[in-house]
Amino acid sequence: MSADTVTELRPMEECHCGACVAMMLDVFRNPPWSYEWLQPDRITAYVADLLRTPRFRGFVLLCGEALLAACLGVESDYFAAAAYEIKEIFVARELQGQGVGGAFLDDIEAILAEEGKSCVTLNTQRTIPAFRFYERHGYSVAPETVMMSKRL
């Protein structure tokens, strides 16, 4: 992407779902995630579920009609904090490592801060580059919090 490319940050709408699903599959089926088990029907249902979640808020970065990046999340009032939880954030593979994701995240954070949000939360894995990406952008591990799971 050249420096003079015009991009636009917009709220995610239902019309962006198909492009988001396609990009999620492309991004997360390839390194560093390599989630080969991802299926289009499951991702389509997941994105549709997120869109219907109360207080869903998504952002898309567009160049014309082309999707460059997306962030899907949920707003909440968490105890004393007006928060935004990032459920998914992804950038087109060909744009990764060029500063697009960092600028996208910075712009989203600026919008949220202007609206009075006091924190952004997310889950990620320590073993993938996204962990270091978030650290470089000021995110830190909450020492008192742990994500737990149980395989059934």
Task: Give the whole-angstrom CA distance, residue 36 versus residue 104.
Answer: 26
User: What are the pLDDT tens digits along the chain (152 aa)?
Assistant: 555 678 999 999 999 999 999 999 999 999 988 998 899 999 999 999 999 999 999 999 999 999 999 999 999 997 778 999 999 999 999 999 999 999 999 999 999 999 999 999 999 988 888 999 999 999 999 888 888 889 99
Q: For the chain, what are the domain ranges?
A: 8-136
Task: Give the Cβ contact number of residue 146 at 10 Å.
Answer: 7
Q: Determine the residue type at 134.
A: Y
Q: What is the pTM (predicted TM-score) of this model?
A: 0.92
* Fold of domain 8-136: Aminopeptidase (3.40.630)
